[in-house]
Amino acid sequence: MTKWVYLFNEVERVEKIAGGSWDGVKAIVGGKGAGLLDMTRAGVPVPPFFTVTTQACNAYQKAGKFPKGLWDQELNALKQIERKTGKKFGDPSRPLLVSCRSGAKFSMPGMMNTILNIGLTDAVVDGILRNSGSARFAWDAYRRLIEMFGTVVMDVADEAFERPLEELKHRKGYKVDIEMKAEDWEQIVGVYKKVYKNETSQEFPQDPYKQLELATQAVFRSWNGKRAVDYRRATGISDDLGTAVNICTMVFGNMDQNSGTGVAFTRDPSTGERKMLGDYLLDAQGEDVVAGIRNTDSIENLGKFMPVVYRQFMGITEKLEKHYRDMQDVEFTIERGKLWMLQTRNGKRTAKAAVKIAVDMAKEGLITREQAISRITPENVDALLHPQFDDVAMTKAEKEGKFLAKGVNASPGAAVGQIYFDADTAEKMAKESKQATIMVRPFTKPDDVHGMIASQGVLTSEGGATSHAAVVARQFGIPCVVGASAIKIDLERRIMEVNGSSVREGEWISVNGTTGKVFVGKIPMSTPSLEEQTELMTLLKWADEICARKDIRSAPKGWPRRGLQVWANADYPKDARRARSYGAVGIGLCRTEHMFFEPERLPIVQRMILSKTSEGRTEALNELLPYQRKDFDGLFEAMDGYPVIIRLIDPPLHEFMPDEEKLFEDVVTMRVRGETVGLAEKESLLGAIKSMHESNPMMGLRGVRLSISMPEIVEMQVRAIFEAAADCTKRGIVVKPEVMIPLTGTAKELEWIQPRLVRIAKTVTEEKQVKFHYKFGTMIEIPRAAVTATEVAVLAEFFSFGTNDLTQMTYGYSRDDAERNFLITYQEQGILEKNPFQSLDRAGVGKLMEWAITNGRATRPDLEVGICGEHGGDPDSIEWCHMIGNNYVSCSPFRVPVARLAAAHAALKHRPVPRKKSARPKAAKGKRKK
């Protein structure tokens, strides 16, 4: 018989079935179930419980009914709980009440259902009343069950229950629930039973077992509810995991003033600071804290009211953090002075907190540096380099009176957007109208998550650091301010008002999730500096150390055994300096043509292109030479000691010429108006441009083909490179120039051009009497070059994969058009899993690269290999580059930190498995048999 149910003391049995893997345990009993089992084993006070497995959920989804044996197993488990607690389900004299909570393998906070107080009936409520001595508590518990059961199990709308409660409060002049008396709740129970009957055409079930059965089914079904499905889409959680159901003895935080309930993080989930952060409420049930409806007290204050419980709580949570070696998010309840732990899980956190916690825990010896690196995702690093508000702009905004309100800084970062007061509108405006939106609500509920994800930022007027809005925003890295109580939101008039000023729906605000401040209007943002983020710097340094290990890659002889280096694509010294400060250890691509576009140079370039003779070209190029020399000089200086790859001119020449259509229009206008001054020049320019026209310019006269047709340009460039390198060397700068020839398709092209360029290099170094290391190599961006790498590597001392062009030419997709065109449909239809211009196509383009490296190194074992296409900054592509034996990846300076982390991840993931020591005992010394 399949085992569908595990009792609180059966953790070893689940472990056995999961083959000893904790991940496997979570897959069977869910994260919450696994945490409860583990806490019970560790002697932490957990109310007795049992867990229905995720497999049971999947079986239910498939058949639409409980699988065979499940219900009997639930009943048996319930008996064990009765034995353990000394209570009895449905028995008014010593009633047992249970909760029924979802709990999938991966935490999906608030996305699925929970039903509390199951087991309460008309008969049992009297028993509760007698046992607790509090009629108020008993009737309140009962009405909560009817409401939750009605809405969650029977799909009754919330308002059906909320309305009569509000009416009664209004009649009695109460503002908050806490003012409700026992007889009020008793009256509400009567009303709720009627509501239930009206809405469902059934009586509220008086059979506690029926309640439990239906509640279990409702939790199963909530796995496929809209909220849960949306959440899984957004987080990439697989649909076929299913949820477990935890059925747990109820303990009550709302019995009296000696009871309470709370949630806490063992470290600050926003900043990562090593300090318990939590909220609690006396005389309350769990959802009162999480919903952010009642104002909670901070956890330190619990120490004042209940010092013994507080000390016990601090001891347990410290133990839990050490046990899981991670920051814990715990839920607890105190029932008449006794502490119960209801949940522990690894807490969600901001990117900033994730990095700080990982680095701190490695320093504290709780985890290794490698574990610290593995815990940080490329998205975390990316988020930390995202824009923040400019300090100066912020002060200016305050002076100008744009400050609106301050709330809790729940999720850091800067967000500027137009406000919308509900999730659907926020999502619609963001998706359909492409607006930057900020979702503003009094507080959020799980139904609001789609609006939050679509928005740049979130603002609420209620709730604290552990409220739903705060937790979800942190998880998704959305800047968020909660509990900005000065803001009064009028959902009907679609307006929010603060101290006399008002902001209407659709107007702009700026939300500073780092400080908790909210401003009207748009405040400029700036990119944070990496240097100021000490923990991130430390983590990336550790990442570099992993990649620098000599034995991290297994590879054929002569191939790199260290991990990948990260270089940068930079054209100007300022970019190179930024790249270096971000940790790049080389320039993998300097696109020299960008320098030709500068205003004072473009006319010279155009003159050079238009001249009909080699002499005319050379004359113009001689004018350009000093500019280029200066450009390269700056780059070498910025990259002192590091290699700099300079690519010779690549694009077709028409790109440097005026726009043909515009010129044609000018000429026609001048002719019509009879203007003659300058007409002849324009006509001749138009003629020249027309003569350059190509149907497929990306496949036309560009790259090495252009260099062969007009060698004067690249000859000038090589002279400029070597003159600059020589001058720098004389100034004591260590230069390592590498000259890169683009768009090679056949080794013969290199044979034609490279020797003339090498001659220039030699001439310059002799003229200047300096020596330094340099290389000549090529880009591999045409499939034919990859396929014939054996021959190409005869001359090329290095390969750099230009995967933008290599993807274009391998697929035959235009890199300029495909992404806004059929590629969208291809991805929607699943023809392409990912956009191949963003993430390397391992099966096609990747295989060509692998082939090129293997064959290239067969010719030249020390062939240096890199990548400089956009894929060089994409973590998945970086992993592939590690696997196939690249020496380095090169990407935009801003992506360098992410690439450093991704390189370390790849190195750790693919590190050679240490050879197992022989199992046979070694013969004792000197006793070896002859």
Residue 805 is a binding residue for ligand PEP (CB under 6 A): yes
* Nearer to ligand PEP (CB atom), residue 244 or residue 750: 750
Label the pairing between strands 328-335 and 736-741. unpaired
Burial of residue 73 (number of CB atoms within 10 Å: 0-12, 13-18, 19+): buried
CB of 623 to ligand PEP, least distance (A): 25
Contact by Cβ (8 Å): 201, 150: no
Kindly state the smallest distance separating residue 650's Cβ from ligand PEP, in Å.
Answer: 6
**Contacts to ligand PEP from residues 743-802, by CB under 6 A:** 781, 802
In the residue annotation, 450 being an active-site residue is answered as no
Query: Closest CB to ligand PEP among 26 and 871?
Result: 871
Q: How far is the CB of 704 from Mg ion (least distance, A)?
A: 11
In the complex with ligand PEP, which residue's Cβ is closer, 156 or 889? 889
Question: Which of 193, 274, 445, 591 forms a contact with ligand PEP (CB under 6 A)?
Answer: 591
Instruction: Give the rounded distance of the alpha carbon of 631 from its chain centre.
Output: 37
Q: Which amino acid is at 500?
A: G
According to DSSP, residue 152 is labeled: I
**Which residues from 633-662 bind ligand PEP, rule CB under 6 A?**
650
Asked if 466 and 472 count as a contact pair (C-beta separation under 8 A), the reply is no
Encoding tokens for residue 68? 């065979």
Say which amino acid occupies 91.
D
Q: Which does 38 bind (CB under 5 to 8 A by kind): ligand PEP, Mg ion, none?
A: none
Least distance between ligand PEP and beta carbon 803 (Å): 5
Check binding of 568 to ligand PEP (CB under 6 A): no
In this structure, what are the phi and psi dihedrals at residue 385, rounded to the nearest 5 degrees? -105, 10
268 vs 781, which CB is nearer to Mg ion?
781
Of residues 158 and 816, the one with the C-beta less far from ligand PEP = 816
DSSP 658: P
DSSP sequence for 495-546: EEEETTEEEETT-EEEEETTTTEEEES---EEPPPSTT-HHHHHHHHHHHHH
CB 438 within 8 A of CB 458: yes
Spatial distance between the Cα atoms of 261 and 698, rounded to a whole number of angstroms: 66
Contact segment (CB under 5 A) with Mg ion among 304-312, 472-480, 777-785, 852-860 equals 777-785
Half-sphere exposure of 247 (CA within 13 A, CB side): 35
At 922, list the tokens: 């070694």
Q: Which is nearer to Mg ion, 563 or 802 (CB)?
A: 802
Encode 638-677: b = buried (16+ Cβ within 10 Å), e = exposed: bbeebbbbbbbbbbbbbebbeeeeebeebeeebeeeeeee
The catalytically annotated residue of 100, 248, 468, 480 is: 468
Query: Does residue 805 bind Mg ion (CB under 5 A)?
Result: yes
- 3 state DSSP class of 490: strand
DSSP alpha helix (H) spans, 176-259: 182-200, 208-222, 226-235
Give 312 or 804: the residue with its C-beta nearer to ligand PEP.
804
727 binds, among Mg ion, ligand PEP, none (CB under 5 to 8 A by kind): none
> Can 170 be counted among the known catalytic residues?
no
Residue 298 in the binding site for ligand PEP (CB under 6 A):
no
Closer to ligand PEP by Cβ: residue 462 or 805: 805
By a kind-dependent CB cut-off of 5 to 8 A, residue 875 interacts, out of Mg ion, ligand PEP, none, with none
CA distances from 592 to 611, 703, 718, 742, 772 (A): 21, 12, 11, 11, 22
Site stretch for Mg ion (CB under 5 A), options 455-463, 631-639, 788-796, 804-812: 804-812
Partner in contact with 803, chosen from ligand PEP, Mg ion, none, beta carbon below 5 to 8 Å by kind: ligand PEP
Q: Please, what sign has the CA dihedral across residues 10, 13, 15, 20?
A: positive
Instruction: Kindly state whether residue 803 participates in binding ligand PEP, applying the rule CB under 6 A.
Output: yes
Contact between 804 and ligand PEP per CB under 6 A:
yes
Q: Which of residues 83-112 bind ligand PEP (CB under 6 A)?
A: none
Three-class SS of 798-849: EEEECHHHHHHHHHCCCCCCHHHCHHHHHHHCCCCCCCCCCCCCHHHHHHHH
Q: What is the dihedral of CA 438, 513, 320, 49, to 10 degrees?
A: -20
> Which of residues 482 and 796 has its CB atom nearest to ligand PEP in the complex?
796
The closest alpha carbon to 219, from 88, 120, 99, belongs to: 99
Closer residue to Mg ion, CB minimum distance, 710 or 740: 740
What's the closest the beta carbon of residue 703 comes to Mg ion, in angstroms?
A: 7
- Among 31, 150, 802, 856, the residue binding Mg ion under the rule CB under 5 A is 802
Interaction with ligand PEP in 231-290: which residues (CB under 6 A)?
none
**H or E element at residue 565:** strand 565-569
SS3 assignment, position 58: helix
In the range 839-868, which residues lie near ligand PEP by CB under 6 A? 868
Site string for ligand PEP, 570-589 (x = CB under 6 A): -------------------x
List 480, 547, 868, 881, catalytic entry: 868
Query: Which of 95, 262, 516, 869 forms a contact with ligand PEP (CB under 6 A)?
Result: 869
The interface region with ligand PEP, picked from 39-47, 466-474, 803-811, 830-838 by CB under 6 A, is 803-811
Residue number closest to Mg ion, CB atom: 805
Which letter does DSSP use for residue 208 in this model? H
Decide: is 225 part of the binding site for Mg ion (CB under 5 A). Answer: no
Residues that bind Mg ion (CB under 5 A): 781, 802, 805
Catalytic residue list? 468, 868
Residues that bind ligand PEP (CB under 6 A): 589, 591, 650, 781, 802-805, 868-869
